[in-house]
């Protein structure tokens, strides 16, 4: 059979026998097939194609040859130093096509060739071809694209026993992925939560939510999120996020006064104090209250309760803040329903309507009062 085997380089002009094409297919392209070599006497092998993508460690080759039975085998050989080692071989397929596979053990480029072997001897071979396995980058997005550090949404602070959250989407079109939330402790990163992204081939990629451990003490911690490497994609590590776990029960001074006014209704409330100004703010994302400095007595109490009312409302509606706005605007027949209901809730919680505060409304009758009462009871009006 050896006499019938003609080996040639993979150029069209010289394609009179074995022709190998081992180029990598482009992403999402069909495997490239090489047209049969021009007829020439009785060629045995016509060509081959590499049918795997760069990011796949398992490489598949298709070899075309004459369909009739032979005593030789079709082999896949790997260059090792200066010699060639057979890593797989098969008797030629009856339909004139033989498939062979090789799984690369590590990323990189190796040299491979197709050969005809008989009794352990290589009768003929194709030119050497470079074969590469290179993992792609993981395709990862943060739940909120403007918050790229873990727990940035919490604006650096989490109340005792509460959990800050950070969502990460991971594309899993090729395989499921696993990862972890890690906390820095004693000089190393320790896993505190395992994260899983199931395989999903279309639509929005799966989302996993990392949650900070429930912590009672006042302590500052660093966190990061990791996605483990898969066979096809490299691993990923987020930026490091710093979180202050803070127990409002240990507040002192002005923060303690603010907390004491609202604690019956907002018992675990993160409060910070602005450097100046007179307007206080309740943040819907982080659920933090920023108090302006310098309030006194009934004014301080009224504003603390108004901001606390916002937090109660934000918690009740979660991610449905648009629905919250439209519902409250309808009830209050105003474009400021969320502020008006906070006033009505503050009065119910004990704020003095006569306090020195720029109230949004003093009218809390009828459906307005019912809305305030319902939100305080944890019911959407």
Residues of this chain that interact with Zn ion (CB under 5 A) are 339, 342
Residue 275: count of CB within 10 angstroms of its CB: 6
Q: How far is the CB of 258 from Zn ion (least distance, A)?
A: 15
Q: Are 94 and 69 in contact (CB under 8 A)?
A: yes
Q: Which is nearer to Zn ion, 339 or 352 (CB)?
A: 339
Query: What is the rounded distance in angstroms from the CA atom of residue 370 to the CA atom of residue 332?
Result: 11
Q: How far is the CB of 146 from Zn ion (least distance, A)?
A: 23
For 36-87, the DSSP string reads PPPP-S--SEEEEEE-S-TT-SEEEEEEEE-SS--SSEEEEEEEETTEEEEE
Q: How far is the CB of 183 from Zn ion (least distance, A)?
A: 35
Q: Which is nearer to Zn ion, 157 or 283 (CB)?
A: 283
Q: How far is the CB of 357 from Zn ion (least distance, A)?
A: 10
Q: How far is the CB of 210 from Zn ion (least distance, A)?
A: 30
Q: How far is the CB of 310 from Zn ion (least distance, A)?
A: 5
First-to-final CA distance of the chain: 87
Q: Which is nearer to Zn ion, 63 or 342 (CB)?
A: 342
Q: Token pair 């109230």 is at which residue?
A: 359
Q: How far is the CB of 164 from Zn ion (least distance, A)?
A: 23
Q: Which is nearer to Zn ion, 260 or 339 (CB)?
A: 339
Q: Which is nearer to Zn ion, 228 or 298 (CB)?
A: 298
Q: Which is nearer to Zn ion, 75 or 338 (CB)?
A: 338
CB burial of residue 9 (10 Å; 0-12, 13-18, 19+): middle
Q: How far is the CB of 323 from Zn ion (least distance, A)?
A: 18
Q: Which residues contact 309 (CB under 8 A, 6 or more apart)?
A: 265, 341, 342, 343, 345, 346, 349, 372, 375
Q: Which is nearer to Zn ion, 291 or 342 (CB)?
A: 342
- The sign one gets for the Cα dihedral 235, 241, 245, 248 is negative
Instruction: Give strand ranges (E) for the chain.
Output: 45-50, 58-65, 73-80, 83-90, 97-103, 108-118, 121-125, 129-133, 140-142, 157-159, 165-170, 177-185, 188-197, 207-211, 219-227, 236-237, 241-246, 271-273, 281-282, 289-291
- Is residue 239 helix, strand or coil? coil
Q: Which is nearer to Zn ion, 78 or 273 (CB)?
A: 273
């Amino acid at each position: 059979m050896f006499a019938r085997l003609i080996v040639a380089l993979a150029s069209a002009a010289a394609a009179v026998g074995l022709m190998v094409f081992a180029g990598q297919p482009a992403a999402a392209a069909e495997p490239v097939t090489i047209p049969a070599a021009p007829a020439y006497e009785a060629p045995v092998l016509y060509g081959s194609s590499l049918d795997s993508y760069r990011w796949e460690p398992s490489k598949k080759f298709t070899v075309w040859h004459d369909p009739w039975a032979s005593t030789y085998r079709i082999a896949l050989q790997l260059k090792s130093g200066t010699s060639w080692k057979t890593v797989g071989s098969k008797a030629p397929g009856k339909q004139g096509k033989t498939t062979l596979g090789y799984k690369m053990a590590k990323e990189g480029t190796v040299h491979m060739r197709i050969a005809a072997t008989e009794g352990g001897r290589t009768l003929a071979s194709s030119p050497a071809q470079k074969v590469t396995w290179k993992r792609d980058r993981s395709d990862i997005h943060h739940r909120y694209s403007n918050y790229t550090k873990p727990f940035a949404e919490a604006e650096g602070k989490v109340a005792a026993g509460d959990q800050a959250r950070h969502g990460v989407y991971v594309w899993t079109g090729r395989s499921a992925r696993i990862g972890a939330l890690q906390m820095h402790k004693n000089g190393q990163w320790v896993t505190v939560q395992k994260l899983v992204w199931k395989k999903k081939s279309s639509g929005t990629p799966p989302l996993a939510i990392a949650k900070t451990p429930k912590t009672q003490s006042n302590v500052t911690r660093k966190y990061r999120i990791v996605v483990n490497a898969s066979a096809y994609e490299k691993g990923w590590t987020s930026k490091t996020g710093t979180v202050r776990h803070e127990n409002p029960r240990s507040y002192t001074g002005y923060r303690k006064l603010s907390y004491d006014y609202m604690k019956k209704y907002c018992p675990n409330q993160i409060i910070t104090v602005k450097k100046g100004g007179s307007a206080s703010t309740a943040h819907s994302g982080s659920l933090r209250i920023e108090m302006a400095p310098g309030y006194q007595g009934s004014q301080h109490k009224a504003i603390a309760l108004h901001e606390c009312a916002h937090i109660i409302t934000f918690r009740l509606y979660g991610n449905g803040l648009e629905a919250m706005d439209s519902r409250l605007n309808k009830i209050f027949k105003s474009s400021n329903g969320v502020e008006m209901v906070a006033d009505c809730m503050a009065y119910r919680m004990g704020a003095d309507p006569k306090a020195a505060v720029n109230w949004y409304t003093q009218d809390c009758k009828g459906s307005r009062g019912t809305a305030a009462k319902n939100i305080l009871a944890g019911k959407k009006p």
